Amino acid sequence: MKPLIPNKLFLVFVLIHASRLCATIVRCLCWIGVLWSMTDAIRANERPNILIIYTDDLGFGDLSCYNNNAAYETPRLDQMAAEGIRFTDAHSPSTICSPSRYGLFSGQQIFRSTGRGGGAFEGPGGPSYLKPDTLTIGQMLKEQGYRTGVFGKWHVGLTWFDKDGQRLGGGFENSLLIDYEKSTPLIDGPNERGFDESFITPNCPNTDPLYVYIENGMVATRASQRHDPKSLPNPGGKWRWDNDAGWMSPGYDFMNADLLFFEKAKTFITEHRKDTPDQPFFAVLSTQIAHAPVLPAEEFNGATDAGPRADFVWELDVIVGRVLDLLKELDIDDETLVLFNSDNGAETVHVNWMREDHDHDPSGGWRGMKRDGWEGGHRVPFIARWPGKIPPNQVSSQMTSTTDIFATVASIVGVSLPDDAATDSFDMWPVMLGQQDESISVRPHLLTQSFGGEFQIRQGAWKYLDHKGSGGNNYDVPNMKRWIIPEKASNAPGQLYNLNDDPYETNNLYFSEETKRNELQELLRRLKASGRSAPMNRKPFQAWKQ
């Protein structure tokens, strides 16, 4: 029999070296974990803070960087544009506020939610246009590790119940029927649609009752007091127009609404940076400026020589400046993408009065205004700034929409969007980086909708309006008749314009360009039926990281 000792020694040898090998493997795995964590940290650090400043009824010509003939200056917004990119062919998805807000938060046209158009909510109107199965931009970023917040005007609908648990419809008097115990926390408010923190008003802060503040789904002070519009200032004897009587919370502050929204956003950003500096944030500051009524805070009265509405826009400019200053104070300026956009064109009476009194055109020369399907109803300012990433002094003529913010942000943070989400959203990040050939349009087409849900479609310079007239305002009433442009094809059921040759939409080519008209009508039919206008299989644009 062979001796056993050598075999035992061999076994010991194997065990010793196996244990060393295991230790080496464990150390390697640990280092792989560390490197993976470092990669995650690097990846997280590449993701910027994202801040959207979303304004109300601000027309294409309301900023001095867009309008050389503006009756006042907007220095901080001009500075923001100079430090980033300014789009000259940007559009709101709708010509009124609630459907446009749906477009911002969902990346989709309002008919994806409602089947056609969508009105603006008043009183306890709802439910939300943002349905439970709709991926919102807040939800998308929250899933990517962002802390999310929204501050200011919400206005995409909320569900309220009476004492019997029945859902309330809109209407001022229904505000008194709200059962707050049954209604709050809100089942379809911002905190249920992807936002960690919120401080909002349900509708237009100074226009549409009910007048309450809602913080994280709860109403601290109920609407129990009747509001008298005559209790507010009326500069110039007319600028209080559209401040509706209704029910308000005692102490509701009409004059300082936007300053309050800014302070809430500032607190969110400041405290978040203090508590979790390694986590990026996403915030939406949704102002009421320049929606009617014109109620600038006291410190801004007389700030310009162009009347109360100019003072109002000046207040907005100052707030934007305070936001940019805050980012520098917190040393996160280079880590933060700031987007500035408007929900539709300027209000009708505002356009009239500013043209008459101050030789200032809020529509910037375009035909139409808020509610209209013509360019003045939906061509709006859009500015993007991210120092060190977005090259400065860019002016882009790329056709874009508010709905594109969703896909653009997704691209920046490295998200491949599901095909059933943000179905009208295109990635404009290559444009912002200056890496897109300006002669090649990112968008092969663009949809907009006017007041009643009527459609307009762009393809290059060609624009087809699937309706007669403005699609919004009645130009037969006295204060609008002066802006009537005689129709050259008055019997046409729709309108076709070439914006290169006819930027002011005066020569309807509906009959004379039959081939192009049929082409755009068919394209519109397909886009409506397909459930999407954006491409499938959208992947993040990666070249900027190389």
Report if residue 525 sits inside a domain. yes
3-class DSSP state of 211: strand
Report if residue 303 sits inside a domain. yes
Number of domains in the chain: 1
Report if residue 413 sits inside a domain. yes
Instruction: Encode pLDDT of 308-330 as tens digits.
Output: 999 999 999 999 999 999 999 99
CB 133 within 8 A of CB 112: no
pLDDT at 544: 61
Angle at the Cα of 405 from the Cα atoms of 505 and 409, rounded to 5 degrees: 155
| Gap between the Cα atoms of 438 and 461, Å rounded | 14
Per-position b or e across 382-408, b if 16+ CB within 10 A of its CB: bbbbbbebbeeebebebbbbbbbbbbb
Report if residue 13 sits inside a domain. no
Report if residue 540 sits inside a domain. yes
525: Cβ contacts below 8 Å, ≥ 6 apart: none
Instruction: Label each residue of 91-102 as H, E or C.
Output: ECCECCHHHHHH
Report if residue 450 sits inside a domain. yes
Burial (0-12, 13-18, 19+ Cβ within 10 Å), 201:
buried
In the predicted model, residues of the chain with pLDDT beneath 70 are 1-45, 543-546
Report if residue 349 sits inside a domain. yes
The CATH number of whichever domain residue 307 belongs to comes to: 3.40.720.10
Burial (0-12, 13-18, 19+ Cβ within 10 Å), 322:
middle
pLDDT at 9: 42
Report if residue 2 sits inside a domain. no
Number of neighbouring beta carbons within 10 Å of residue 233: 16
Instruction: Encode pLDDT of 93-138 as tens digits.
Output: 999 999 999 999 999 999 999 999 999 999 999 999 999 999 999 9
Q: Whole domain around residue 529: which residue ranges?
A: 52-545
Instruction: Encode pLDDT of 51-84 as tens digits.
Output: 999 999 999 999 999 999 999 999 999 999 999 9
